[in-house]
Structures are given as C-alpha cells and as structure tokens.
A and B are shown apart, each in its own frame.
Chain A
C-alpha cells in the first residue's frame, strides 16, 4: 500500500469513527451508572434510524440534520419512560434482571421492525450525499465529515455537562456510591432513568448523522453494536475518554482492514481487536480497578 492510500484510509476511518464514539459513549455511560450492558442498544439505534427515515419521507420531508434536536430529545424521552415504566419497574433492584429485560426488549424491537417495516433496506436521498471534500490524497464524503465533527461536538458538550452541572455530578456520584447519593437526597431511580435516557439520546443523534450515508433495516443496529462493544472493551468499560479514543481507533482499524483485505474480509479486524484486547489488556486502555 502506498503512503497516500494509507493516509486516505486513516482519514476515512477517523471519519467513520466519530459515530462509533457517539454510540459507544451511550453504551459506556449506561454501563458506568447502571452496571449493565444495554443489550437493547443496537435495536434502539435501529428504531431511531427508522424515525429519521420516516421523518424524511413524503409528508414531513424533514432533513436528517434538521431533525437531530427532535430525534435526540425524542430518544431521551422514550428511553427515560422506558426505564421508568419497564426496565426499572421489573428489575426489582437486581442488575442481572436489567440485562435480561434489555435483551428481551431488543428481541421485541427487532421483530416489531421486521413486521411493520419489512426486512427491506431503506435509504434516504439527500442532495449533499454526493459532495466530497479533498484533504490531500483523501477524498472525504461531506456527510461523513459532518457526522465526525458533530459526534465529537456532541460528546464534548456531554462531557462538559457531566463535569459542571449538578445532575451530571449526581450521575457520576450514583455510578460509584448509590447509598451515599441517597443520603444527600439524590433520587437514584430518577438518575438511573436520566442516564439511560442520555445514553439512548446519543443513539438518536447518531441515527441522524448516519442516515445521510447509511441504510436502515431491522438488523442494521447489530453491526454498530458489535463495534460499540469492541470500542467500550478497548477503551475500558465505563470510561468516557476510552470510548472516544476507542471509537476513533476502531474506525481506523476497520478502514485499514478493509483496504488490506477487502470490504468483506476486512470486517474481521473488529472482532480480532475485541479478542486481542481481552487477551492482552482486559481492562482496556483507560479501564481502572
């Protein structure tokens, strides 16, 4: 491979990695606070992508970028209520129950999507889909550049919010010391629901950023979930910085793997990273404990 091709591969990988960061940040936030893997992550991303798709279609014709605030807020509200009404209620305070409930939700969501939306893949046609930006030897599709920049911006804003607001501090407090949190008057169940809501709101934003260059089908969440799991394991479970670095690294690995071994075979790079991390550094790059 020439240096130019590698450079272009790295740049394109970075661009793809932006959305991975966003999806992984949602997963890692939920893990950090609730101490569970959200098995519904991929399915909820898929539902959010369908929401973007239907908002774009005929009667409404809403551009995915214009829909971002709406879909993000909608995803938050949906997930908050889902936690309060279903997950929290049936968990009976046991983390392992939450695991099973999110797994069940994912099965229900996938099959409901198959039933209502059929198994066909759907895409949306935006006018800017074919635009490119030249960066040295790399040609960057405009929607990918937007998704990269917007993802990082959203993560930065979320990071600031977590650092400086009382609710952000309460979320971090609940992550490590629930009883202490109750004793300062934090409503822990409410914080759980808010954390779950924010984790899924990240998926809402990711769906808006993805749809201009990606398709949706009832199974399209799965690809991202494997990537997000790998990212979170690579970066360190529950680590924000880990999700950031991990997501970008995975993007690059995927892109270079594709260049070296071809689109299809290159996909093997991601599970390979997953296994290597588990073997060599199970706590991930930024994982403590």
Chain B
C-alpha cells in the first residue's frame, strides 16, 4: 500500500533521513520507533507532501507521490494526524470535522460526522465549542476524528498518546486497534514503545537517519538490544 525506498530528506542543507526503506501493507499496523529528533515526523511530513524529499521514492497505491502536493496526497486517501494535533483553534469542533472532508469524502459528510461522533461522544457534547478551548485529550480526539472524516485508506498517527493521561492512553490504543480491525492501515509513531509493539504487526526502528532494525512486532519486543535502548531494561 505504502512503499518508501531510499528516502533522503531534511531541512535546507541538513539531511535527517539518509536512505530509509519502509513498507505498510493493507490491513497492517506498522510502528515507527526511534529516539527524539531522529526524524520520525520528518518522514511523516515528507510522505504527506509538506516537504519535498531530497531523493528516493514514496509509492502509495501504485502512484509515486514523492514531491506531490499535500492536496493530491489527501485526495488519494493518505491522511496524517500530525504531532501536536494542529486542529483549527478558532473554528468550532463541528467546523473542524467538516473541514476534515474538505478534499475527500465530502459527499458522505453527514454520515461520517455521525460515525465520528459515535466513536467520540465527547466531541458531540462539545460540537459548538471552539477547538482551541478543548483539553489536550479532546483535541487529540478531534484531530483523529477530523482525519476520519476524509475516509482514509492509510492513516499516519504521529504520537497520538502525547500528553494524555494513562487511562486515556489505554483508550487511545484500544481505538487504534479497533480502527485497524475495521480495515484501516495505520503507520503509528509512538513514544509508548511497549504498547505500540503490542498492537502493531510490524515495526521499524530509526537510528542515525536509517532503519536500524525492523521485523515482526513480537520479535522486536523481545529483542535485547531494543529493550536496553528504549526501555532501559
């Protein structure tokens, strides 16, 4: 579904990713792990078209999307929930969700609105409230709800549990798993390594701009090197 090969990317003259290969197949949850500042968000944002890669190919559903506009990437069903949520603070919850279907899924907006508020009843209660006044957890729900409005075929989640209480983190992971069971492919970037590996099918570990480790999630969860560097065990 998504196939990244030899991706080089960065900012200006600084190269952050130095040839990354990564694949997400239909129906999979793939976890992308790595320490702070290693370039996970950089990878997401190049895939989403916010930045133009230096080199390499990003193929989504058979089409090379490296260097394509975010607009056409959204159109094709690859939707990102970015780090830091990036909801529209001056718009109501309802308007945020509506804009989720600005480019894609507009015809079924009403039905999707009902579906998203079914998943997040909390958002329904806050429908007319400005998104900027929501709590951090509510904003995260809104960001995911907004992405769902576009009927994604592949969802990129960049640290969806950031800033959530432990209880909400549990709920978030359960939700991610449920979305996946319903057929959605997910690329998951997370700091909660144990929980991500528990729900992921496969995982990649980024180090120094390249994939240092990859494989089935259980294998990585059992890997002594990974346990040492990320879990302090």
Across the interface, A185 reaches (CB within 8 A) one of B86, B88, B98, B104, namely B104
Question: In the complex the two chains form, what is the Cα distance from A208 to B103 in whole Å?
Answer: 36
A-B contact pairs, 19 of them (CB 8 A): A166-B98, A166-B99, A169-B98, A169-B102, A173-B90, A173-B91, A173-B99, A176-B89, A179-B86, A181-B88, A183-B70, A183-B80, A183-B82, A183-B86, A184-B150, A185-B73, A185-B103, A185-B150, A186-B102
Q: How far is the CB of A157 from chain B (nearest CB, A)?
A: 19
When the two chains form their complex, are residues B102 and A184 in contact, meaning their CB atoms are under 8 A apart?
yes
Q: How far is the CB of B72 from chain A (nearest CB, A)?
A: 8
When the two chains form their complex, are residues B88 and A173 in contact, meaning their CB atoms are under 8 A apart?
yes
A263 contacts B by Cβ under 8 Å:
no
When the two chains form their complex, are residues B75 and A185 in contact, meaning their CB atoms are under 8 A apart?
yes
Question: In the complex the two chains form, what is the Cα distance from A169 to B90 in whole Å?
Answer: 10
Question: In the complex the two chains form, what is the Cα distance from A180 to B75 in whole Å?
Answer: 15
Which B residues fall within an 8 A CB radius of A? 48-50, 69-71, 73-75, 79-80, 82, 85-91, 95, 98-100, 102-104, 106, 146, 150
When the two chains form their complex, are residues A183 and B99 in contact, meaning their CB atoms are under 8 A apart?
no
Question: In the complex the two chains form, what is the Cα distance from A170 to B101 in whole Å?
Answer: 11
User: A183-B82, A186-B103 in contact; A172/B88 too (CB < 8 A)?
Assistant: yes
When the two chains form their complex, are residues B91 and A182 in contact, meaning their CB atoms are under 8 A apart?
no
Cβ–Cβ < 8 Å partners of A166 in chain B: 98-99, 102, 106
Cβ–Cβ < 8 Å partners of B89 in chain A: 176-177
Question: In the complex the two chains form, what is the Cα distance from A166 to B99 in whole Å?
Answer: 7
User: A172-B88, A177-B88, A177-B89 in contact; A182/B70 too (CB < 8 A)?
Assistant: yes
Across the interface, B99 reaches (CB within 8 A) one of A170, A175, A179, A187, namely A170
A interface majority secondary structure? helix
A175 and chain B: residue at smallest CB distance:
B90
Question: In the complex the two chains form, what is the Cα distance from A184 to B100 in whole Å?
Answer: 6
User: A185-B71, A185-B74, A186-B71 in contact; A180/B86 too (CB < 8 A)?
Assistant: yes
B82 and chain A: residue at smallest CB distance:
A183
Q: How far is the CB of B174 from chain A (nearest CB, A)?
A: 24
Cβ–Cβ < 8 Å partners of B99 in chain A: 166, 169-170, 173, 181, 184, 186
When the two chains form their complex, are residues B88 and A180 in contact, meaning their CB atoms are under 8 A apart?
yes
Q: How far is the CB of A119 from chain B (nearest CB, A)?
A: 44
Q: How far is the CB of A195 from chain B (nearest CB, A)?
A: 14
Cβ–Cβ < 8 Å partners of A181 in chain B: 88, 99
Question: In the complex the two chains form, what is the Cα distance from A172 to B102 in whole Å?
Answer: 13
Cβ–Cβ < 8 Å partners of B79 in chain A: 183
When the two chains form their complex, are residues B100 and A187 in contact, meaning their CB atoms are under 8 A apart?
no
B98 and chain A: residue at smallest CB distance:
A169
When the two chains form their complex, are residues B82 and A180 in contact, meaning their CB atoms are under 8 A apart?
yes
Cβ–Cβ < 8 Å partners of A183 in chain B: 48, 50, 70, 74, 79-80, 82, 86
Question: In the complex the two chains form, what is the Cα distance from A176 to B131 in whole Å?
Answer: 12
Q: Given A172-B90, A173-B88, A182-B49, 8 other A-B contacts at CB below 8 A? A: A169-B95, A172-B91, A173-B91, A175-B90, A180-B85, A182-B50, A184-B103, A187-B69
Question: In the complex the two chains form, what is the Cα distance from A172 to B71 in whole Å?
Answer: 18
Cβ proximity bits A182-210 to B, threshold 8 Å, 1 near / 0 not:
11111100000000000000000000000
A238 and chain B: residue at smallest CB distance:
B90
Q: Which of A177, A181, A187 has the most CB of B within 10 A?
A: A177
Q: How far is the CB of B157 from chain A (nearest CB, A)?
A: 12
B89 and chain A: residue at smallest CB distance:
A176
Q: How far is the CB of B194 from chain A (nearest CB, A)?
A: 28
Question: In the complex the two chains form, what is the Cα distance from A183 to B100 in whole Å?
Answer: 9
Question: In the complex the two chains form, what is the Cα distance from A176 to B75 in whole Å?
Answer: 23
Cβ–Cβ < 8 Å partners of B98 in chain A: 166, 169
Q: How far is the CB of B159 from chain A (nearest CB, A)?
A: 15
User: A169-B98, A179-B82 in contact; A187/B87 too (CB < 8 A)?
Assistant: no
B81 and chain A: residue at smallest CB distance:
A183
Cβ–Cβ < 8 Å partners of A172 in chain B: 88, 90-91, 95
CB within 8 Å of B: which A101-119 residues = none
CB within 8 Å of B: which A142-183 residues = 166, 169-170, 172-173, 175-177, 179-183
Cβ proximity bits A130-141 to B, threshold 8 Å, 1 near / 0 not:
000000000000
Question: In the complex the two chains form, what is the Cα distance from A166 to B73 in whole Å?
Answer: 19
Q: How far is the CB of B110 from chain A (nearest CB, A)?
A: 14
Across the interface, A176 reaches (CB within 8 A) one of B69, B70, B90, namely B90
Question: In the complex the two chains form, what is the Cα distance from A105 to B16 in whole Å?
Answer: 40
Question: In the complex the two chains form, what is the Cα distance from A230 to B9 in whole Å?
Answer: 46
Q: How far is the CB of B77 from chain A (nearest CB, A)?
A: 11
